[in-house]
């Protein structure tokens, strides 16, 4: 036996649609009348059984016909009602619910035997065998607010039983009494009105925090069509409702509780269990009454895998208010068709899209998230700074501390300047080089990405030829080509800008030839130009000291960003003493460049990477992924190329010039919970454990199998 529901048992009599109560004795024909087992204990019990749980329900009903009916319905639905007490001479609680055409549901209610339920009516022996106890409506079964019952609940929880609590009334006095239960339950699930009435708080989030402070491990406030708000010590997050054709919302709260509890009993975390609750509620909303629409667990959970309706809705709204609906590198229209555009949250190496689908994330937000989403040390440092202030009249002490950390960590850095994006940093580095040399030309590799300002954006739209006139291109890894490029602008080269390895989109990646790196250094010295390493993408994933440090090649200037602060917005240029004076002459600034929170996050990120050897962790996980993918590709008969450092990996299919195989495979990976990219390199984080990679490889294996079937 698994779950015991305790509390309110009601017979619901529902009619739909009812737009008004007729005058006098008039009759109005309606489409449907139903009688159901309802109430926060009985309704939830029925839903729990449908979701595959064994359920015993406890409480009281009258010895009237409605009581007979309720017992018969519960039995028919598979709920063990043998512990329900029948009170001689009392009425069974019942509601008449004329459902309005818009789903609204006024009610007429007789509380009946529920009001008299006490601890003596419960079977403590059965409760002791339960894996979960759900208290349904203890605000109206106030006889249960008994110290002996609290003691039993505490003992049950100590032995591992999960205790959840839902409420029924919207009466402040009754709800106030139910607060006595809060220290004795694991999760409380009020609706928005109840949460606010119980606490006097201004909004559901504040109310949830107030309820949490009274003892439970979590508070889940149901918000109707806005979904639910989950608040625990670690999480405050809204779970969106699933889009569905709403016929009648009666019983949605009970279904949410049943789905949530079922999720917990299946070992899911609180957020995932909340999504199970959301799916169960969405099922029940489709029909008249407390249990219609809910049939079984699999079809309920399938709703979570269903077409991404929230994403589609957001896309169509965005199309009206954002050019093209989305722009730039995160525009999902540029990837394979199944890619979600909108995301709800991230945790460690996982992300969830707005439709609740979970992915093991190998893009890490296109680089920034290097320690895993919401890394505690980074979040703590950011929150500590945020509590003091972020964007002030000047930088905080943290700017000096962060610059000192960079200077201590990066051998080529004698100073640091901060900004926001990688493009700020590459642009600023070239300004320093030009200020130092008084020259104009910049040598850059053909096809390299250095950002999205007019001088470097890959699309010429919106730029003028003048803005690109000072760039001279060379071929990556060809010293000959670099020297030839320099010769065309002899005497006017301000800088050579180069990425630590070749990571152009749509192409296999190429590690730098050490001779090329050394040759570029020597050429810059010979020309009196600055060697600028654009470490925006690779920085903090190859070597904390700078990505060419292993080759013994030190730049004059380095541009950093992406992984520097685990997702907080910051970029930096570091440089040598020789360029300090030139850097000082620039007027280079921005409204948000000196915000302290991102700086605090950057310091915590770099220190964590250093203290935990985060790069070694990424190397291990990346090597495991690469090896696993090679084996799988071979087993499925695909020739693949895996290129770049294992911490910034990419996989392409041999002969797949139009990327159709890569598009199909990456889309299939998504369907199996793995987020990779068809034409841009991926990123590992220090949060990818061996188990995460092993789980991801299960998904990629299925994706290879499906791709083989498609391209047989
Ligand atoms: C090598 C390199 N440089 C510069 C940039 C530009 O950085 P941001 O997008 O932060 O402006 C990027 C971004 O992907 C990059 O990969």
Euclidean distance between CA atoms 506 and 649, whole angstroms: 13
Largest CA distance in the chain: 105
Closest ligand 1 atom number to CA of residue 451:
6
pLDDT at 579 over 60: yes
pLDDT, position 357: 86
Ligand 1 centroid–CA 446 distance in Å is 16
Specify the DSSP class assigned to residue 122. S
Closest ligand 1 atom number to CA of residue 448:
1
pLDDT at 1 over 60: no
Once rounded to an integer, what is the mean pLDDT over residues 506-523?
Answer: 98
pLDDT, position 288: 67
Kindly report, residue by residue over 91-147, the tens digit of the pLDDT: 999 999 998 888 788 889 999 999 999 999 999 999 999 999 999 999 999 899 999
Which residue is closest in CA terms to ligand 1's atom 5?
A: 451
Q: Do the beta carbons of residue 574 and residue 412 sit within 8 Å? A: yes
Ligand 1 centroid–CA 423 distance in Å is 6
Ligand 1 centroid–CA 188 distance in Å is 45
Question: At 631, is the pLDDT very low, low, confident or very high (cuts 50, 70, 90)?
Answer: very high
Ligand 1 centroid–CA 74 distance in Å is 61
pLDDT, position 255: 94
pLDDT at 370 over 70: yes
Q: Do the beta carbons of residue 651 and residue 583 sit within 8 Å? A: no
Ligand 1 centroid–CA 435 distance in Å is 22
Fold of 3-216: 3.40.1190
Ligand 1 centroid–CA 480 distance in Å is 26
Other CB atoms within a 10 A radius of the CB of residue 550 amount to 13
Which residue is closest in CA terms to ligand 1's atom 7?
A: 422
Ligand 1 centroid–CA 449 distance in Å is 7
Ligand 1 centroid–CA 433 distance in Å is 19
Closest ligand 1 atom number to CA of residue 535:
1
Ligand 1 centroid–CA 622 distance in Å is 22
pLDDT at 504 over 70: yes
Once rounded to an integer, what is the mean pLDDT over residues 629-638?
Answer: 98
Specify the DSSP class assigned to residue 167. -
Once rounded to an integer, what is the mean pLDDT over residues 525-533?
Answer: 98
Closest ligand 1 atom number to CA of residue 537:
16
Closest ligand 1 atom number to CA of residue 367:
14
93 vs 298: which has the higher pLDDT: 93
431 vs 20: which has the higher pLDDT: 431
Residue 497 structure tokens: 């800008």
Ligand 1 centroid–CA 341 distance in Å is 20
Of 501, 536, 547, 681, the one to substitute when testing ligand 1's pocket (max ligand atoms within 8 A of C-beta) is: 536
Residue 473, Cα to own-chain centre: how many angstroms? 40
Closest ligand 1 atom number to CA of residue 562:
10
Share of residues in the chain with pLDDT > 70 (%) = 99
Which residue is closest in CA terms to ligand 1's atom 8?
A: 422
Residue 491 structure tokens: 């005497």
Ligand 1 centroid–CA 570 distance in Å is 12
Q: HEC string of 499-567? A: CCCECCCCCCCECCCHHHHHHHHHHHHHHCCEEEEECCCCCCCCCCCCCCHHHCCCCCEEEECHHHHCC
pLDDT, position 179: 93
Closest ligand 1 atom number to CA of residue 423:
11
Of 330, 450, 459, 677, the one to substitute when testing ligand 1's pocket (max ligand atoms within 8 A of C-beta) is: 450
What residue ranges line ligand 1, CB within 6 angstroms? 421-423, 426, 449-452, 499, 534, 536-537, 561
Ligand 1 centroid–CA 421 distance in Å is 7
Question: At 246, is the pLDDT very low, low, confident or very high (cuts 50, 70, 90)?
Answer: low
Kindly report, residue by residue over 416-474, the tens digit of the pLDDT: 999 999 999 999 999 999 999 999 999 999 999 999 999 999 999 999 999 999 999 99
Of 430, 537, 567, 680, the one to substitute when testing ligand 1's pocket (max ligand atoms within 8 A of C-beta) is: 537
Closest ligand 1 atom number to CA of residue 499:
1
Once rounded to an integer, what is the mean pLDDT over residues 522-542?
Answer: 98
Question: At 582, is the pLDDT very low, low, confident or very high (cuts 50, 70, 90)?
Answer: very high
Indicate the CATH number for domain 376-611: 3.40.640.10
Q: Give residues with Cβ within 8 angstroms of 353, minimum separation 6.
A: 308, 311, 340, 342, 343, 344, 359
pLDDT, position 322: 95
pLDDT, position 701: 97
Q: Give residues with Cβ within 8 angstroms of 511, minimum separation 6.
A: 501, 502, 644, 645
Ligand 1 centroid–CA 680 distance in Å is 13
Closest ligand 1 atom number to CA of residue 426:
4
Of 329, 363, 426, the one to substitute when testing ligand 1's pocket (max ligand atoms within 8 A of C-beta) is: 426
334: left (phi over 0), alpha (psi -120 to 50) or beta: alpha
Ligand 1 centroid–CA 16 distance in Å is 58
pLDDT, position 544: 98
Q: Do the beta carbons of residue 456 and residue 536 sit within 8 Å? A: no
Share of residues in the chain with pLDDT > 90 (%) = 83
pLDDT at 46 over 90: yes
Closest ligand 1 atom number to CA of residue 561:
10
pLDDT, position 385: 98
Other CB atoms within a 10 A radius of the CB of residue 551 amount to 17
pLDDT, position 691: 96
* Fold agreement (3-216, 376-611): no
- Residue entry with tokens 């990629």: 700
Which residue is closest in CA terms to ligand 1's atom 14?
A: 537
- Average pLDDT, whole number, for the chain? 94
- Angle (nearest 5°) at CA 238 between 235 and 240: 145
Fold of 318-372+614-710: 3.90.1150
Once rounded to an integer, what is the mean pLDDT over residues 202-226?
Answer: 94
Residue ranges covered by each domain of the chain: 3-216, 318-372+614-710, 376-611
Other CB atoms within a 10 A radius of the CB of residue 487 amount to 10
Residue 165 structure tokens: 């609590």
Ligand 1 centroid–CA 670 distance in Å is 25
pLDDT at 286 over 80: no
Once rounded to an integer, what is the mean pLDDT over residues 290-304?
Answer: 81
The separation between the first and the last C-alpha atoms of the chain, rounded to the nearest angstrom, is 49
Highest-scoring range by mean pLDDT, 18-27, 133-142, 221-230, 586-595: 586-595
């Amino acid at each position: 036996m698994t779950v015991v529901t305790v509390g309110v048992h009601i017979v619901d009599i529902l009619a739909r649609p009812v737009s008004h109560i007729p005058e006098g004795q008039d009759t109005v024909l309606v489409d449907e009348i139903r009688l159901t087992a309802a109430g926060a204990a009985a309704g939830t019990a029925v839903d729990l059984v449908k979701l595959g749980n064994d359920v015993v329900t406890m409480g009281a009903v009258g010895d009237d016909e409605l009581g007979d009916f309720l017992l018969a319905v519960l039995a028919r639905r598979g709920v063990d009602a043998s512990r329900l007490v029948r009170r001689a001479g009392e009425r069974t609680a019942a509601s008449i619910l004329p459902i309005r055409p818009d789903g609204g549901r006024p009610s007429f209610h007789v509380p009946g035997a529920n009001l008299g339920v006490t601890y003596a009516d419960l079977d403590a022996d059965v409760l002791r065998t339960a894996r979960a106890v759900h208290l349904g409506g203890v605000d109206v079964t106030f006889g249960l607010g008994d110290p002996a019952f609290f003691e039993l609940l505490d003992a049950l929880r100590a032995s591992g039983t999960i205790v959840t609590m839902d409420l029924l009334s919207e009466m402040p006095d009754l709800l106030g009494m139910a607060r006595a239960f809060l220290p004795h339950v694991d999760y409380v699930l009020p609706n928005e009105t109840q949460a606010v009435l119980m606490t006097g708080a201004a909004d559901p989030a504040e109310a949830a925090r107030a309820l949490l402070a009274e003892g439970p491990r979590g508070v889940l406030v149901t918000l109707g069509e806005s979904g639910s708000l989950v608040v625990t010590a670690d999480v405050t997050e809204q779970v969106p409702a699933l889009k569905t054709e709403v016929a009648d919302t009666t019983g949605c709260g009970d279904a949410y509780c049943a789905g949530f509890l079922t999720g917990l009993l299946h070992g899911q975390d609180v957020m995932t269990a909340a999504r199970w609750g959301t799916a169960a509620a969405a099922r029940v909303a489709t029909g008249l009454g407390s249990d219609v629409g809910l049939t079984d667990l699999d079809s309920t959970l399938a709703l979570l895998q269903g077409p991404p309706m929230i994403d589609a809705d957001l896309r169509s709204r965005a199309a009206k208010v954002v050019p093209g609906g989305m722009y730039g590198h995160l525009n999902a229209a540029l990837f394979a068709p199944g890619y979600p555009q909108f995301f709800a949250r991230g945790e460690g190496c996982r992300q969830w899209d707005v439709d609740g689908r979970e992915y093991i994330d190998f893009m890490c937000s296109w680089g920034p998230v290097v320690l895993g989403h919401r890394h505690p040390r980074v979040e703590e440092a950011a929150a500590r700074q945020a509590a003091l202030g972020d964007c002030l009249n000047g930088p905080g002490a943290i700017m000096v501390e962060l610059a000192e950390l960079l200077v201590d960590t990066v051998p080529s850095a004698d100073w640091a300047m901060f900004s926001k994006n990688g493009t700020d940093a590459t642009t600023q580095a070239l300004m320093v080089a030009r200020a130092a040399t008084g020259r104009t030309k910049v040598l850059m590799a053909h096809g390299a990405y250095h950002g999205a300002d007019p001088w470097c954006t890959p699309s010429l739209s919106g730029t003028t030829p003048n803005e690109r006139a000072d760039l001279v291109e060379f071929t990556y890894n060809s010293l000959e080509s670099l020297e030839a490029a320099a010769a065309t602008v002899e005497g006017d080269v301000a800088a050579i800008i180069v990425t630590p390895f070749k990571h152009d989109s749509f192409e296999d990646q190429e590690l730098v030839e050490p001779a090329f790196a050394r040759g570029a250094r020597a050429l810059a010295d010979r020309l009196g130009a600055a060697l600028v390493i654009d470490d925006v993408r690779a920085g903090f994933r190859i070597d904390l000291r700078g990505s060419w440090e292993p080759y013994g090649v030190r730049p004059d200037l380095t541009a950093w960003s992406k992984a520097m602060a685990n997702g907080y917005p910051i970029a930096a240029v570091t440089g040598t003493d020789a360029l300090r004076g030139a850097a000082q002459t620039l007027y280079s600034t921005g409204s948000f460049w000196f915000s302290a929170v991102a700086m605090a996050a950057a310091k915590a990120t770099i220190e964590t990477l250093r203290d935990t050897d985060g790069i070694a962790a990424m190397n291990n996980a990346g090597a495991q992924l690469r090896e696993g993918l090679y084996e799988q590709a071979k087993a499925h008969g695909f020739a693949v190329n895996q290129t770049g450092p294992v911490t910034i990996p990419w996989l392409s299919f041999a002969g797949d010039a139009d990327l159709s195989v890569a598009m199909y495979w990456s889309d299939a990976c998504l369907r199996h919970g793995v987020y990779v990219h068809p034409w841009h390199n991926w990123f590992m984080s220090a949060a990818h454990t061996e188990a995460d990679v092993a789980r991801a490889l299960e998904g990629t294996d299925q994706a290879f199998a499906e791709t083989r079937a498609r391209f047989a």
